[in-house]
Structure 1
Amino acid sequence: MSAAATGPTTSIWGRTEQQDFRSRVRGSLLGGAIGDALGAPATHLTLDAIRARYGPEGITGPTGAEPDNGATHTPAPPARITAATQLTLFTVDGLIRAQVRRDTGAWHPPTDVHRAYLRWAATQRDWGPDERRKDNGWLAREEWLYSRRDPARACLLGLADDVMGTLDRPKNPDARDPAALTRSGPFGLLVGWEPQLVLQLAVECAAHTHGDPAAYLSAGAHAVIVHGLARGESLDAAVQRTLALLAQRPGHQPVTDALQHALGAVRQGMPSPGLVASLGEGHLAQEALAIAVYCALVGEDIRHGLLLAVNHDGPSAATGTLCGTLLGALHGETALPPGWLAELEGRSTLLELADDFAMEMTQGPALHGPAVNSPGWLARYPRA
């Protein structure tokens, strides 16, 4: 990563711009989590099975989930997230830590994001937070995150040791599922970066667990689309910009073709599960991205787009996460369905992290640097 890839500073952010940015950050993270929770109960079901369980219209809102480990005495929240949202939270944590660590002269965001993913991996094997690790920061001390929520095998294997996957030596070279893709939205919220640098960072961090070019380029493509939306572009314009950047990358054709198919499906008539199915089931990363983009483009509102994204044969949690991330970044938090948001698991954590990210990206120099250090901020996001 280039040292020139710096985030925005307060000198270029007015109050209105800061408020709009915070709304889009909140919208992206909360929207992705809502889509994740909507799709989670159906992620291993066919469309016919979804309709058989939930009625002819399929999923129409948060449906709840089975209690952890089958413990029937433990009530499940109506909108319970999966590993996709867990990892997205740690992506944000890693990006904040990368900005804070710049003060030390250490500037390699892929390393900081990888360390954040290792903290997530600890939540998948430990009973609870290790209070002795003061350098873990606040997110890794959130006890509710210490729960396995259908994590992808490639994520568990890729983060099973401290060795960081790189583009030259990626982890799981044959992994093509959308798990690296679903955690990549926060890279697009680096609105002070150039799009090609956002693409590069997302691709490098996807290679920590997913080494197939279609998988890591899908992650990069999603990040660049979010980046355009967070900057105020239309979804169509953001996709077109992404296609232009992808064309410069070896191995881009499966992802480019998938996005082109999504754009073509928009022109084929009224939105329908049949048109969603024409884009694939979503078990491959580029298919999941195409489904999410299509549903976001044709959705009459966020509710309609998300329901279209989760009622299909494939991994509904993944496509719901991606679609919600796009629509939340496009419209901001106030456009999210309030009833669904009220039932969302971990909402307070998502909001806290979103606001911390927005503060770091807009006011970081006032929190830490050569002339000032906020002890509270550095306790939340240690440099170590």
Structure 2
Amino acid sequence: MGTTSGAVWGRTEQQDFRSRVRGTLLGVAVGDALGAPVHGLDLEGIRKIHGSEGIVDLAPAYGRRGTVTHFTQLMLFSVDGLIRAQMRRDTGVWHPPTDLHRAYLRWAATQRDWGPDERREEDGWLAREEWLYARRGPTRALLVGFGDDIMGTLDAPKNPAEAGPEAAVRSAPFGLLVGWEPQLVVRLAVECAAQSHGHPTACLAAGAYAVIVHALARGDELDEAVRKALALLAVRPGHQPVSDALRQALGAVRQGPPGPTRVEELAGEGTAEGALAVSVYCALVGEDVRHGLCLAVNQSGPSGAAGALTGGLFGALYGETALPPAWLAELEGRPTLLVLADDFAMEMTQGPALHGPTGAAPGWLARYPRGA
């Protein structure tokens, strides 16, 4: 596995990495789509609609099966922002949180505008994808956080009381920066979370999730990835709620057969650390990806977030081939997700050939303009 932007990747390494990138992005989206129809319902309400087993298959939301929500939308713009951040390393002007913030502002424009007609060339190809111009339940914290050009920071966070899981979900792609040191992955996720979810628990849950994905993408098993996250969290002030939630998730694995009761206990009040704990638990105890995802979304907390986080873990751990093919076939935006995943993998493994000092690919610079 390459460890720096200049590393040489073998063919087998490239294929494995691309599969994990695809798996992570598609996993987030599939988990989001599974949870979307029941997001906001309590367990009793889910069973009333979907039967005693709860939801066990894709169901209609926003007019059709397989639709994704703001969780997936923002995750896609995270990828777009990361590609541009990597490209900007060549220029000597490099501050990834700023590139991510610009990407999230492009997402915010999709929530205001009727369609992509108003997009400029420098907005790039993703901002011109018409299917993204749909409001899919964005929370107030997101609309406020990205409602103006001011970027929230750790010193001056946006929505400092907001502890929801939205920032954690959009942090999945940060974990795919396999050439970065883990502590830098945590830092990026924490800083970018503060742009909309300034509560320390939300920021640190985002950092923990990103670095767990990072360890998985580098080949670790999930329990080892969680232990690495706990070690990195331990040096950060205010880490206790997130660390406790992760430890509870690991402990719950040994407490009898998995079921909704255990998931409800871990989910708690539906804040970021609870959704993170649910995702770790369900990815550890799931008999397969389908079972783990169903376990994650059949609960009274934020089902879409829990499903998305769980799907991202499965995808980073096993790659795209582990995800349920029937669900992928119905997934909204799948072609966009695959193109973006492959572009990300290309940038991370072959970036210097695309825009290095010795040459540049004009088509690449048109897709991901450096100036925006």
Aligned match for 2:110, one of 116, 120, 123: 123
1:139 aligns with 2:135: no
- Decide whether aligned partners of structure 1 residues 318 and 132 sit closer, same or farther in structure 2, where only a CA change above 3 A counts: closer
Q: Contact 1:29 / 1:354 at 8 angstroms: preserved in 2? A: yes
Report deviation, 1:8. 3.4
Report deviation, 1:110. 0.3
Q: Contact 1:281 / 1:313 at 8 angstroms: preserved in 2? A: no
1:323 aligns with 2:301: no
Instruction: Specify the alignment match of 1:288 in structure 2.
Output: 275
In structure 1, what residue type is equivalent to 2:106?
R
Report the 3-state secondary structure (helix = DSSP H, G, I; strand = E; otherwise coil) of the residue aligned with 2:300.
coil
1:20 aligns with 2:16: yes
Instruction: Specify the alignment match of 2:158 in structure 1.
Output: 171
Instruction: Specify the alignment match of 1:161 in structure 2.
Output: 148
With structure 2 as the length reference, what TM-score do the two structures score? Answer: 0.98
Report the 3-state secondary structure (helix = DSSP H, G, I; strand = E; otherwise coil) of the residue aligned with 1:383.
coil
1:301 aligns with 2:297: no
Distance in 2, Cα, partners of 1:96 & 1:132: 19
Distance in 1, Cα, partners of 2:88 & 2:233: 30
Distance in 1, Cα, partners of 2:118 & 2:278: 41
- Decide whether aligned partners of structure 1 residues 8 and 362 sit closer, same or farther in structure 2, where only a CA change above 3 A counts: farther
Instruction: Specify the alignment match of 1:82 in structure 2.
Output: 69
Aligned match for 2:350, one of 363, 367, 374: 363
Q: Contact 1:7 / 1:361 at 8 angstroms: preserved in 2? A: no
Q: Contact 1:38 / 1:61 at 8 angstroms: preserved in 2? A: yes
Instruction: Specify the alignment match of 1:45 in structure 2.
Output: 41
1:30 aligns with 2:21: no
Instruction: Specify the alignment match of 2:53 in structure 1.
Output: 57
Structure 2: gaps (5+ residues): none
Q: Once structures 1 and 2 are overlaid, which stretch shifts more, 177-186 or 229-238?
A: 177-186
Cα offsets for 1:211-248 (capped at 9, x unmatched): 10000000000000000000000000000000000000
Moved over 3 A (4+): 6-11
Q: Contact 2:55 / 2:294 at 8 angstroms: preserved in 1? A: yes
Distance in 2, Cα, partners of 1:366 & 1:193: 19
Structure 1: gaps (5+ residues): 1-5, 68-75
In structure 2, what residue type is equivalent to 1:180?
A
Report the 3-state secondary structure (helix = DSSP H, G, I; strand = E; otherwise coil) of the residue aligned with 1:124.
helix
Report deviation, 1:130. 4.0
Distance in 1, Cα, partners of 2:362 & 2:133: 27
Cα offsets for 1:261-283 (capped at 9, x unmatched): 11111110111111111113452
Report deviation, 1:362. 0.1
Distance in 2, Cα, partners of 1:318 & 1:11: 34
Q: Contact 2:119 / 2:127 at 8 angstroms: preserved in 1? A: no
Distance in 1, Cα, partners of 2:142 & 2:119: 25
Q: CA RMSD in A?
A: 1.2
Distance in 1, Cα, partners of 2:117 & 2:147: 18
In structure 2, what residue type is equivalent to 1:259?
L
Instruction: Specify the alignment match of 2:238 in structure 1.
Output: 251
With structure 1 as the length reference, what TM-score do the two structures score? Answer: 0.95
In structure 1, what residue type is equivalent to 2:225?
A
Q: Contact 1:62 / 1:79 at 8 angstroms: preserved in 2? A: yes
Q: How many residue pairs end up in the alignment?
A: 370
Report deviation, 1:101. 1.5
- Decide whether aligned partners of structure 1 residues 317 and 132 sit closer, same or farther in structure 2, where only a CA change above 3 A counts: closer
Distance in 1, Cα, partners of 2:118 & 2:49: 43
Q: Contact 1:8 / 1:362 at 8 angstroms: preserved in 2? A: no
In structure 2, what residue type is equivalent to 1:83?
H
Q: Identity rate of aligned residues, in percent?
A: 69
Q: Contact 1:94 / 1:112 at 8 angstroms: preserved in 2? A: yes
Instruction: Specify the alignment match of 1:314 in structure 2.
Output: 301
Distance in 2, Cα, partners of 1:182 & 1:218: 10
Aligned match for 2:169, one of 177, 182, 185: 182
Distance in 2, Cα, partners of 1:366 & 1:282: 48
Report deviation, 1:193. 0.4
Report deviation, 1:317. 0.3
Report deviation, 1:157. 0.2
Distance in 1, Cα, partners of 2:222 & 2:170: 19
Report the 3-state secondary structure (helix = DSSP H, G, I; strand = E; otherwise coil) of the residue aligned with 1:118.
helix
Report deviation, 1:48. 1.1
Report deviation, 1:132. 5.3
Q: Contact 1:281 / 1:315 at 8 angstroms: preserved in 2? A: no
1:193 aligns with 2:180: yes
Q: Once structures 1 and 2 are overlaid, which stretch shifts more, 22-31 or 52-61?
A: 52-61
Report deviation, 1:166. 0.5
Distance in 2, Cα, partners of 1:11 & 1:325: 25
